[in-house]
Amino acid sequence: MENAIEINGLRKKFGNFGVEDVSFTLPKGFIMGFVGKNGAGKTTTIKAILNMLNRDSGEIKIFGKDNLQHEAEIKQKIGVVMDSPFYEQEWTLVQVGKMLKPFYPGWSDQKFNEMLKQFQLAPNKRVKELSRGMKMKIMVACALAHDPDLLILDEPTSGLDAVARDELLEILQSFISNENKSILFSTHITTDLEKIADYLTFIDNGKIVHSDTKDNMLEKYVIVKGGRDALTPEQKALIIGYHETKVNFDGITDKANLKNFPKSLVIEPCTMDELVVRFNKEGRNKS
Amino acid sequence: MNIVISNRSDQPIYEQIKEQIRSAIIRDEIAENEMLPSIRSLAHDLKISVITTKRAYDELELEGFIATVHGKGCFVLPKNKEQIREYKLKEIEQHLTNAITNAKMIRMTSDELTQLLHILLKEED
């Protein structure tokens, strides 16, 4: 299977911040959720994919091609949606399209106009008059107007209301109904991903904590709860994001560990939110 | 064929899809050789991931209910009577086991339980 994105050992440091040893793969035809709290390294990774910063080391391949050697060619095939548009405030939406068109040989006015219509964006509206949801939609319209094979979105749903988020998810799923298209989607809102993501990659403190299919991850881990003296120190070490109060403990663990645990524990299926919280807590427990 | 999934169910989504397509096939709601919705269009309609949908189809294929023709899509295979019987038997066994568990909870004797079964069978006739 061909890969849309392949990152190996990416490193970019800004003093104490940045990313280190970031590696993951997004196979062609799927949606990957890129999850981590603010400052975890999501945007740095995305900027490295787009070659918007000088990385220290590592290799990035897009559709099997090195993103530095084939930069111009690759960028024609990528549509990008960042968290806010960089268009001039006074431009109308028609002007936005006209300004972007020369940069993309694959640009289609017809496609762009169709998207404006579908998103119910008035062509004569000015950028400054747009709501947060409309701004996201005009960015998506521009990203899709040049018929990309890979769509990269950086926190597209933050600040959007539930209706606008649902509309965006619908747009993403329609895009992916063509099996040659792929999406990388960074977010800290897990409910967006719970539904439509095929793959999940967790990043915390500049490092990849976990990358796998969503279904595998949700099946692999379970929530465990019990009395605070229920576990031996060896058993406690098997719990990710261990949290203890005066009366009990909770955390998540690999299902395979359950056979080593006492029967008295409460076991529940894991949710996405729980995964995010626990992997984050584990990072803090260790540091 | 209708497929309605619950996000709050304990049953994994791929299993819900699998079961609903399987019973649609068993009940003849989808005919032999009929084409199923494509994996990607079903994922879109159900608002779930492609991988989850693919897993349901893969397992239905392994169980011999459907076949994938590359580049075309998934088709319903001719029904295998033996296999359907096997599934039904499994289901019956499970329901009876549930009945026994419940009977034990209220200390029902096995005679009382079989009696109840006979009464219910008679009512059906």
What confidence tens digit (pLDDT) does each residue in A165-208 have?
A: 888 889 999 999 999 999 999 987 777 777 899 999 999 889 99
Which pair of structure tokens corresponds to residue A3?
């890969």
A27 to chain B: which residues are within 8 Å by CB? none
Helix orientation angle between B13-26 and B50-62, rounded to the nearest 10 degrees: 40
What CATH code is carried by the domain that includes residue A24? 3.40.50.300
The answer on A223 and A111 residing in a single domain is no
The answer on A155 and A96 residing in a single domain is no
The answer on A265 and A221 residing in a single domain is yes
Domain count, chain A: 3
In a domain, B100, yes or no: yes
Contact A284, A246 (CB under 8 A): no
Domain count, chain B: 2
In a domain, B46, yes or no: yes
The answer on A103 and A117 residing in a single domain is yes
In a domain, B4, yes or no: no
The answer on B87 and B46 residing in a single domain is no
For chain A, the average pLDDT equals 90
DSSP state of A254: E
Residues B47, A173: C-beta atoms closer than 8 Å: yes
Q: What is the pLDDT of residues B80-114, one digit of tens each?
A: 778 778 888 988 999 999 999 999 999 999 999 99
The answer for B 10-39 residues in CB contact with A (under 8 A) is 10, 12, 14
In a domain, A84, yes or no: no
pLDDT at residue A1 is higher than 70: no
Residue of A nearest to B11 (CA): A269
Residues A177, B10: C-beta atoms closer than 8 Å: no
Whole-prediction pTM: 0.82
More confident site: B58 or B8? B58
Domain span at B47 = 13-76
Token look-up 């996000």 returns B7
In a domain, B39, yes or no: yes
B8 reaches A (C-beta below 8 A): no
Domain span at A65 = 3-77+149-205
A195 to chain B: which residues are within 8 Å by CB? 7, 47-49
What CATH code is carried by the domain that includes residue B63? 1.10.10.10
The answer on A108 and A27 residing in a single domain is no
Contact A202, A275 (CB under 8 A): yes
Q: What is the pLDDT of residues B31-80, one digit of tens each?
A: 888 999 999 999 999 999 999 999 999 999 998 899 988 888 899 998 87
